[in-house]
Amino acid sequence: MVSMSKFARLMNTSLRQKQVLKSVQHNPMNNTLRKLITPSSNPPQAKVFTEVLEAIQKRVKVGGHNREFLSSILPPSQASLPPRTMEDSLTHALIPIGSNPDVRLKYTSHIGGARLGRLIQDMDHFAAVVVYKHILNPMQDPEGLSAHAVVTARMDHLFIKENIRNDADIKLIGHVTWVGSSSAEVGVRMEQMEEGEWKRVCEARFVMVARDAATGKKSAPLNPLVVESKEEKKLYKLGEKNIEVRAKADQDSLFKEPPSKIENNLIHNMFLSTVDHKARSFSARVKPDNSAWMTESKLKSIMVCEPEHKNDYNKIFGGLIMEKCLDLAFTNTWVYTGAAEVPVCTHIDDVIFLKAVEIGDLLYFHSQVVFTHENNVQTRVSAEVLDRETKRLKLTNVLQVTFKLPSTVPHIVPQSYHEAMAYLTGRRHFLISLENEGLLMKGEVEEQTMEVTKYTPLWTLKTFDDQQSMDDERVCMLSEQEDQDMFMDPEMTKRIRAREGGAM
């Protein structure tokens, strides 16, 4: 039960949050995390994406009879490579889905608009192209085989700001924003032609890792990045900050640290709201109105990894795995909501590549709705490979996807402890997406959403119009207790204890 003062505080918090959202939405692209450098001269003309990709793929050969040659041109250290600037890796590529009907069909979704999963595949390829452009190795022919093999480690915070249409050309723009010894962060922006102008529709950050092309196993040094302008220094610091945020998120993971006090209170309140208090049993669970059990929000699929799915390194292409995961998340969300309206993906986070997938592997996809708030749905998808010897599944990929619908969706309710942890993890990703997207300012996530967005579901709020209503409620509760006898006989106590035996 929530008092009038607490309920008023909750409503005021919700009102403040909506005011913040409204004020920031006037300038949705104001977050510096999503900015790229401004070219010092006229930007290069965008080449067709397939041509750009094919030019790089011709230079990438891993192992085989080229192994000895590739080993001979591998740089011994980062110090042996010349420094590079952000503008050196700046790349433009055109996807002509508006001007080429054959290309348009490949990118058209059955629900209308463009296929987001297919575009994410291209963004993944494009991020690798950017890193190859950043690499300048004096030991190799600029047009010859590359000593580096660039692979995707993760994708962070893909924001979709506009509906992506299937009748207008798309342009990809990207450059390196941060470089370590053998890894780099790449910012990729997607623009679409609208009324004669390029409009920003989507942005993401990719973390790419360089391996030696001779074996594909050892790390390969990358050219150091020099930053000169104030704009470049800001982007570089943001890249460093992203590394710190990823490390902290890993340390604070619920796999390593217990939930916070606030999160524990949330889960306990949600549990109490599903207990049948009249039965006086922790095992008797009641589903609240307009809600669904989390265990009923699952959807699975499986894929046999064929040779046609491989990348340049004879592994299954990570972009294809992301597309399959996203398609399953979309389908599961649509099935869960049962809505006539189509869920719209607004954010993808925490795309992690934990293990390479081999040709011939059985790849299992598991999707589950883990968090809901008003008309938002957070869906988690994992990809796992079946170990043929142990018959156990090994995790390879994880995605957290946020969807938005025009109307309010049913509340998702965890029943078990592991579902509660999935709920809290999904909630964390949902809140981080609001902050990183610029819809909530830094530090205001906890303040603005602590009691409303973050964890008190609307069905846990019970209000009273006046003091008399509260008194009537107390009288009603006492009457129910009298009907059940304030002091139960031994037989009744025995039955309740037996019923509660499996609840603790």
Predicted TM-score (pTM) above 0.85: no
| Residues of the chain by 3-state class (helix, strand, coil), percent to 5 | 40, 25, 35
Tokens of 22: 């409204």
Angle between helices 116-134 and 318-337 (to 10 degrees): 150
Tokens of 216: 């594909």
Tokens of 486: 């304030």
Task: Please give the Cα distance from 432 to 8 (Å, whole number).
Answer: 26
469, burial (CB in 10 Å: exposed 0-12, middle 13-18, buried 19+): exposed
Give residue 288's pLDDT. Answer: 76
Distance spanning both ends of the chain, measured CA to CA: 24
Give residue 249's pLDDT. Answer: 63
Q: Please, are residues 439 and 24 in contact by the beta-carbon 8 Å criterion?
A: yes
Give residue 251's pLDDT. Answer: 55
- Distance of CA 387 to CAs 138, 322, 394, Å? 42, 21, 7
Task: Please give the Cα distance from 111 to 115 (Å, whole number).
Answer: 9
74: left (phi over 0), alpha (psi -120 to 50) or beta: beta
- Could you tell me which of 98, 274, 276, 106 has the C-alpha nearest to residue 170? 98
Give residue 267's pLDDT. Answer: 81
| DSSP helix/strand/coil, 137 | coil
Give residue 91's pLDDT. Answer: 94
Full 3-state SS string of 408-475: CCCEEECCCHHHHHHHHHHHHHHHHHHHHHCCCCCCHHHHHHCCCCCCCCHHHCCCCCCHHHHHHHHH
Sign of CA dihedral 402, 403, 404, 409: negative
- Longest CA–CA separation in the chain, Å: 90
DSSP 180-198: -SSEEEEEEEEEEEETTEE
Angle between helices 116-134 and 49-57 (to 10 degrees): 50
Tokens of 324: 């399959």
- Distance of CA 330 to CAs 236, 315, 454, Å? 34, 26, 23
- Could you tell me which of 430, 381, 348 has the C-alpha nearest to residue 154? 348
Report which secondary-structure segment, H or E, holds 249: helix 230-251
Q: What is the pLDDT along the chain (504 residues), one digit of tens a residue?
A: 344 343 334 334 444 444 434 433 433 334 444 478 777 667 667 899 999 999 998 888 887 788 999 999 999 999 999 999 999 999 999 999 988 988 898 898 887 788 888 999 999 999 999 999 999 999 999 889 999 999 998 888 788 887 898 899 999 999 999 999 999 999 999 999 888 889 999 888 899 999 999 988 889 999 999 998 898 999 888 888 877 777 666 655 766 677 878 887 888 777 777 776 565 555 657 777 788 898 889 999 999 999 888 877 778 888 889 999 999 999 999 999 987 888 989 888 868 888 888 888 899 999 999 999 888 999 999 999 988 888 889 988 888 999 999 889 998 988 888 888 999 888 888 887 776 655 545 555 455 444 333 334 443 333 334 444 444 444 444 344 334 333 444 555 555 455 444 433
What structural domains does the chain harbor? 1-29+257-463 (3.10.129.10), 31-251 (3.10.129.10), 469-502 (no CATH)
